[in-house]
Structure 1
Amino acid sequence: MTAQRQGTVDTWRERAAELDAADPLAAVRDEFLLDAAPRVVSYLDGNSLGRPLRVTGERMAAFIAQEWGGRLIRGWTDGWMDWPTQLGDQLGRAVLGAAPGQTVVADSTTVMLYKLARAAVDAAPDGRDEIVCDTDNFPTDRYVVEGIAAERGCRVRWIETDPDAGVTLDQVRAAVGSRTALALFSHVAYRSAHLADAPGITRAVHDAGGLVLWDLSHSVGSVELDLDGWGVDLAVGCTYKYLCGGPGAPAFGYLAARHHGVLRQPVQGWMGHAEPFTMGPGYAAATGARALLSGTPPIVAMVPVRCGLDLVERVGMAAIRAKSVLLTRFALDLADELLAGAGVTVASPRDDTTRGGHVTLRRPDFRAVNDRLWDAGVIGDFRAPDGIRLGLAPLSTSFTEVLDGMLVLAKEATR
């Protein structure tokens, strides 16, 4: 390594150390199982799967021994029946900006997305037969929309979106109209991390007479949200990214109180019944957000979600968002210097106010580069056609860890 190169690295190490020393969330990292993967130099995929908390294993063991083993079937009458709504209310309070009674935890994101989107389309007045969605939305969102359109004889009005950007207010205003039943968008674009103008877009859809459904999977736990204040109708999201709920953790669904008893989700199961243990003929939906339930809730899988939410609520979303902005800005600064002249382009917004919690870098050969990064212990995330995403989880990621990963990326990208 040349003296000039070493000097550059030393300067960045000093900067990373300064940022870590000043980080009010630095001590929180000790609550994660950081030493469980010794070959990992830098974990930069927290926007796909969060690290596990140390307390999660303890609570899982206690749940199995005491609640499942100790209470057995009595656990349902002792409290499990209320977990979907209790955890939903905690989500609303800690991260969604939602009053109690509007959120439940159940199903996967795809299933919850289908139930809410189908409910909105089914409730649309005659003549409103269009679903608005953007072409670079997450695949499951697009597939669900296409399936519902086929089922209900609707048309999908596609907004052509630049993968290096995200859906804009002007695009939405131009797309919605008298035929709009539902508009479905991701709050943070899964490729570029573009942060959509949720309040502005929600107002635009409402002005056109339609409902709006937000996918919050890449923003919940990373970006501050205010669903009630923004006037959002419906929202879904996962809990295994920034909320550290673990692989396949259950999703959540939000249905604004003004739509309770009006929008009816289509998967009528016994847990969404007003009196599930009556088990009589005919279906009568439960009141409130509980009507979004269908089958038996994944109680065991909710234990890790509770652990992640407890930490997020204790730390506060304002502090989490502040560190997220600093982490992504630091990654962009590193990319500008370490990858200068390497043909790498930045696909994420430079403006802190329009950037979510990850950074995407692009180059035609980045699929192969990402494979080499994994071999070197730097776990990023490749997204076709040519992007490496750096998912910087504020609770578990240090600035030094970001630097270590970026140095390996620079080495692999310039060799």
Structure 2
Amino acid sequence: MADIEVLDRNDPLAPLRALFELPQGKVYLDGNSLGPLPTAARSRVEAVVQQQWGRDLIASWNSHDWIGLPVATGEKIAPLLGAAPGQVVCCDSISVNLFKLLATALQLRPGRPVILSQQDNFPTDLYMTQGMAALLGEKRCVARAVPADALMDAMDDQVAVLMLTQVNFRDGSLHDIEAITRAAHERGILVLWDLAHSAGVLPLELDSWQVDMAVGCGYKFLNGGPGAPAFIYLAARHQDRVSQPLCGWLGHAEPFAFEPGYRPAQGVASFLSGTPGIIGMAALNAALDVFDGVDMKQLRAKSLALTELFMTGVRAEPACADCVVLTPEEDRRRGSQVSLAHPQAWGIARALIEAGVVVDFRAPDVVRFGFAPLYNSYRDVAEAVAQLARILAADEHLQPRFSARTRVT
């Protein structure tokens, strides 16, 4: 393996690791599921609970601008997406936001009932299309999912919107947003991108790529904490032409006028619905400060280096011979995780976690290693490879204590 000490010593992003509260003795490679705690988020939550909620109580909606947090947090996320101001708002969950945007897309393409997606897309995305189809009926909405290599052929004149996830949650493969968006637009199709495994780790240029709409979550590479709110991106060119179906009071033009009829707010703020969870929103807002001054291209370069080093290390270990690397080797096709398939993947994942290398499992046979360049080091990679090889060489993963399944994997 490469000289790890030299790589870490020369890493320009290495100082950012100190901004996170990483437990001693653990190699955390699960930031693609839940980012670790940024110190800034801890401090902000303490202030919100102790001072704002604890002392200032309801006055904090004004004095601490709780009411403006969804928009303010969205504006912090926007630069990470390559989005100009006024196009991103932070609210709800990915699932809820998908519902809003899918309904919006169908409005924008009347006479086209099909929502097209990929068969191995993240399940919640597919579930939302199925729910939309069941709600509206087949004359107004048809959910269609095809293999990735059949997407282009499936883009016919019945498709209103193509809904895809840029980075596949299971194998870490990467779609070319710009090329696919262009191809869809040539056929009159809108494109909705799920950026759950992209935002905060990949350079994105949604405006210049002419993306129509996107969603993403706050708890993965954005490090906003468990259940952190998601975000919506809606291109400015669409905002005055649409309405979304979840007409909650905070999406109203004047929420505190308490009018009986709904008048949507201007712009992307109309995609707000209910009252935001202020503690979680504040944690995410503070967590985003770790990206201040970070060059996303530099972040991407380190991501590719970490994942390549890991794949090279796994292939060099005889004990890992039965592990199949599912993640593409080509840089342009790889996100920021490496997925290994193995018949005993569950036991391997549990043994790694016990050994201090935190990973996760995806059914039926995948161990995922997520690499976050903000805080993962090259030494983390070396330790992960060493522990994986040790566990497999000793058949440690076959021990009975690693067979019990947990509710969350």
AA in 2 matched with 1:91:
I
User: Quick check: 1:48 aligned with 2:36?
Assistant: no
User: Quick check: 1:130 aligned with 2:114?
Assistant: yes
Corresponding residue for residue 126 of structure 2: 142
The partner residue of 1:401 within 377, 380, 397 is 380
Equivalent residues in 2 for 1:147-158, closer than 5 Å: 147-153=131-137, 154-158=141-145
Deviation at 1:68, TM superposition (A): 2.5
AA in 2 matched with 1:215:
D
Deviation at 1:178, TM superposition (A): 0.6
Corresponding residue for residue 301 of structure 1: 280
Going from structure 1 to structure 2, the CA distance change for 1:292 and 1:329 (only over 3 Å counts) comes to same
Equivalent residues in 2 for 1:306-345, closer than 5 Å: 306-339=285-318, 342-345=321-324
Q: Is the 8 A contact 1:342 1:414 kept in 2?
A: no
Q: Is the 8 A contact 1:41 1:405 kept in 2?
A: no
Q: Is the 8 A contact 2:87 2:235 kept in 1?
A: yes
Corresponding residue for residue 81 of structure 1: 67
Deviation at 1:114, TM superposition (A): 1.3
User: Quick check: 1:16 aligned with 2:4?
Assistant: yes
Q: Is the 8 A contact 2:315 2:321 kept in 1?
A: no
SS of structure 2 residue aligned to 1:72: helix
Going from structure 1 to structure 2, the CA distance change for 1:281 and 1:222 (only over 3 Å counts) comes to same
The partner residue of 2:97 within 112, 116, 132 is 112
User: Quick check: 1:159 aligned with 2:146?
Assistant: yes
Measure, in 2, the Cα distance between the counterparts of 1:241 and 1:315.
17
The partner residue of 2:17 within 29, 51, 70 is 29
Corresponding residue for residue 255 of structure 2: 276
Q: Is the 8 A contact 1:239 1:249 kept in 2?
A: yes
SS of structure 2 residue aligned to 1:77: helix
The partner residue of 1:96 within 73, 76, 81 is 81
AA in 1 matched with 2:339:
T
Measure, in 1, the Cα distance between the counterparts of 2:251 and 2:320.
57
Deviations 1:7-35 (A, max 9, x none): xxxxx3x6221111111111111121123
Aligned length: 390
Q: Is the 8 A contact 2:319 2:393 kept in 1?
A: no
Deviation at 1:149, TM superposition (A): 1.4
Deviation at 1:341, TM superposition (A): 6.1
Deviations 1:56-83 (A, max 9, x none): 2222212223333343222222322221
Going from structure 1 to structure 2, the CA distance change for 1:67 and 1:342 (only over 3 Å counts) comes to same
AA in 2 matched with 1:143:
Y
Equivalent residues in 2 for 1:341-356, closer than 5 Å: 342-356=321-335
Measure, in 1, the Cα distance between the counterparts of 2:292 and 2:109.
36
AA in 2 matched with 1:387:
V
Corresponding residue for residue 49 of structure 2: 64
Corresponding residue for residue 289 of structure 1: 268
Deviations 1:220-255 (A, max 9, x none): 111100111111111000011111100000000011
TM (norm. structure 1) is 0.91
Moved over 6 A (4+): none
Q: Is the 8 A contact 2:314 2:320 kept in 1?
A: no
Deviation at 1:381, TM superposition (A): 1.0
Q: Is the 8 A contact 2:320 2:392 kept in 1?
A: no
Measure, in 2, the Cα distance between the counterparts of 1:48 and 1:244.
10
Corresponding residue for residue 374 of structure 1: 353
SS of structure 2 residue aligned to 1:413: helix
Deviation at 1:204, TM superposition (A): 1.4
Corresponding residue for residue 3 of structure 1: none
Going from structure 1 to structure 2, the CA distance change for 1:52 and 1:339 (only over 3 Å counts) comes to farther
Q: Is the 8 A contact 1:344 1:363 kept in 2?
A: yes
Deviation at 1:375, TM superposition (A): 2.0
Measure, in 1, the Cα distance between the counterparts of 2:285 and 2:272.
19
AA in 1 matched with 2:37:
P
Deviation at 1:322, TM superposition (A): 1.6
Q: Is the 8 A contact 2:19 2:290 kept in 1?
A: no
Deviates more, 1:308-317 or 1:208-217: 308-317
Q: Is the 8 A contact 2:31 2:372 kept in 1?
A: yes
SS of structure 1 residue aligned to 2:3: helix
Q: Is the 8 A contact 1:188 1:196 kept in 2?
A: yes
Q: Percent identity, aligned pairs only?
A: 43
Going from structure 1 to structure 2, the CA distance change for 1:314 and 1:69 (only over 3 Å counts) comes to farther
The partner residue of 1:217 within 178, 182, 196 is 196
Measure, in 2, the Cα distance between the counterparts of 1:70 and 1:116.
38
Q: Is the 8 A contact 2:105 2:190 kept in 1?
A: yes
Deviations 1:117-168 (A, max 9, x none): 1221233212x111101111001101001111111222222212xxxxxx35
RMSD: 1.5
SS of structure 2 residue aligned to 1:277: helix
Q: Is the 8 A contact 2:70 2:91 kept in 1?
A: yes
